[in-house]
């Protein structure tokens, strides 16, 4: 487990909802509700954080949710109890998932791979635990294909990475590198905030 | 396919926050850049001041608008407003604080509106469906 990531997010847990998440969640609620609405079968949710995304999950699902930070999970525990379904929380690094191969139908992420130190390694783990043909659904902020937005994101990253996420990750390319087939990429803001739909090849 | 709908209040919020931040940035840049500097140096110093001043403005705006969208707009607008403020300083209009703020306001509003248009265009035509 990465102590750097874990320590960073443990430190951020107290202020995360008020400082980063609440305003962003209001802005992105519609897109997340739409994306998470497709949850079905055995679902893995990566980087549960404080559980602020649980409100967008459709009711009645059975979900395994992981996060690297125990402080984040303490806060998520309260929200998981309010969910109309089952959310089981695990302290786990996405790069070292303790689940069996091909044991999930779907994996979901929400602003996760901006913060994972070795994103392709983490995505490869998701590929391992998904069954053949299983789906990966991601709501992420990434680098942009467009100048000058990408230049801004590169400039901000040395600052933001100290306290939270990197802003310039090539996440769509990383998804492909990890062996997924990208089905669609829907930009929600300037090709920076986007929904990514991908699939593990069937064979 | 784009549907402005629920985005409207955030577009207005971004516009107001960016314009206000840029008005402040242009005024400060106009006051701190020395009048005797060459135009290129004044622009560069103003841009740098704009980048630095954009950070606290962004952090405040981010609390009620979300982090990413205001960051991009305030950073871009702040650099533009800083450059404009720096140029105004070498052209000896530094005493006109309201003029500087108006200049910054225009830079911020233009950046925010241009960003909203670019966002609309990207959502309309920028989806990847391989």
Is B47:B86 a contact under the CB 8 Å cutoff? yes
Task: Report how far residue A64's alpha carbon sits from residue A48's, in angstroms, rounded to the nearest whole number.
Answer: 10
What is the C-alpha separation between B28 and B45, in angstroms, rounded? 12
Indicate the helix (H) or strand (E) that contains B65.
helix B39-65
Question: Per the domain annotation, does B2 fall within a domain?
Answer: no
Least confident of A1-15, A51-65, A81-95, A96-110: A1-15
Whether A20 shows a pLDDT value over 80: the answer reads: no
B126 domain-assigned: no
Q: What is the pLDDT of residue B95?
A: 65
Cα–Cα distance between B69 and B79 in angstroms, integer?
Answer: 16
pLDDT score of A3 more than 60:
no
User: Using CA atoms, how far apart are residues A173 and A21, in angstroms rounded to an integer?
Assistant: 26
Cβ-count burial A1-17 (b if 16+ within 10 Å, e if not): ebeebbebbbebbeebe
Q: How many H helices and E strands in chain A?
A: 6, 7
ipTM here: 0.81
Token code pair at residue A21: 């998440």
The rounded distance, in Å, linking the Cα atoms of A5 and A2 is 5
Question: Quick one: closest CA in A to B2, which residue?
Answer: A188
Q: Is B46 among the domain residues? A: yes
Mutate one of A12, A18, A27 to test the B interface: name it (highest B CB count within 10 A).
A27
Helix axes A70-82, A3-15, angle to 10 degrees: 50
pLDDT (mean) for A85-90: 96
Mean pLDDT of B89-111: 87
R_g of chain A, CA atoms, integer Å: 16
- pLDDT, tens only, A148-199: 889 989 988 988 888 778 899 999 999 999 999 999 999 898 889 999 999 9
Residue B4 placed within a domain: no
pLDDT at B130 over 70: no
A115-126 as b/e, with b when 16 or more CB fall inside 10 Å?
Answer: bbeebbebbbbb
Least-confidence region, from A4-13, A35-44, A188-197: A4-13
Residue B6, pLDDT score: 62
Torsion of CA A105, A108, A112, A114, to 10 degrees: 90
Phi, psi of B48 (to 5 degrees): -65, -45
Find the mean pLDDT for residues A125-153.
93
What does the pLDDT look like over B25-76, one tens digit per residue? 999 999 888 888 898 999 999 999 999 999 999 889 988 888 888 989 999 9
**All domains of chain A in start order, with CATH:** 3-199 (3.40.50.150)
Task: Name the interface residues of B facing A (CB cutoff 8 Å).
Answer: 6, 10, 51, 55, 62-69, 71-72, 75-76, 115, 118-119, 122-123, 126-130
Give the H or E element holding residue A28: helix A22-36
Number of domains in chain B: 1
In a domain, B93, yes or no: yes
Does the residue B127 lie in any domain? no
What is the pLDDT of chain B when averaged over all its residues? 87
The edge-to-edge listing of strands for the beta sheet with A62-67 is: A86-91, A62-67, A43-46, A104-110, A130-141, A193-199, A181-189
pLDDT for position A1: 46
On whether residue B130 sits in a domain, the answer given is no
User: What digits encode the pLDDT tens for the residues B66-82?
Assistant: 888 898 999 999 999 99
Flag if B130 and A191 touch (Cβ within 8 Å): no
Q: Is the pLDDT of residue A21 over 80?
A: no
pLDDT of residue B9: 81
B55 → chain A, closest CA residue: A156
């Amino acid at each position: 487990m990465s102590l750097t990531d874990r320590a960073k997010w443990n430190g951020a847990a107290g202020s995360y909802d008020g400082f980063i998440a609440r305003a962003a969640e209001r802005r992105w609620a519609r897109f997340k509700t739409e994306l998470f609405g497709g949850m079905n079968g055995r679902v893995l949710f990566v980087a549960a954080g404080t559980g602020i995304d649980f409100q967008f999950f459709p009711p009645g699902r059975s979900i395994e949710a992981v996060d690297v930070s125990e402080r984040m999970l303490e806060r998520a525990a309260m929200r998981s109890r309010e969910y109309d379904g089952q959310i089981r929380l695990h302290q786990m690094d996405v790069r070292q998932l303790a689940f069996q191969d091909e044991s999930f139908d779907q994996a979901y992420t929400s602003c996760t791979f901006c913060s994972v130190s070795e994103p392709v390694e983490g995505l490869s783990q998701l590929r391992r635990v998904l069954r053949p043909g299983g789906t990966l659904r991601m709501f992420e902020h990434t680098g942009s294909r467009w100048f000058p937005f990408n230049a801004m994101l590169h400039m901000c990253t040395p600052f933001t990475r100290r306290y939270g996420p990197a802003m310039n990750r090539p996440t769509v390319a990383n998804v492909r590198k990890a062996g997924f087939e990208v089905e669609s990429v829907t930009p929600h803001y300037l090709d920076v905030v986007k929904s990514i739909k991908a699939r593990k090849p069937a064979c | 396919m784009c549907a402005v709908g629920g985005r409207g209040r955030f577009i207005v919020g971004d516009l107001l926050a960016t314009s206000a931040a840029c008005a402040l940035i242009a005024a400060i840049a106009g006051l701190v850049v020395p009048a005797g500097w060459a135009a290129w140096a004044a622009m560069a110093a103003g841009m740098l001041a704009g980048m630095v001043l954009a950070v606290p403005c962004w952090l405040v705006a981010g609390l009620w608008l979300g982090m990413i969208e205001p960051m991009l707009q305030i950073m871009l607008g702040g650099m533009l407003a800083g450059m404009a403020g720096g140029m105004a300083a070498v052209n000896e209009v530094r005493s006109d604080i309201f003029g500087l703020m108006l200049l910054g306001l225009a830079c911020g509003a233009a950046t925010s509106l241009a960003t909203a248009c670019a966002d609309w265009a990207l959502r309309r035509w920028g989806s990847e469906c391989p």
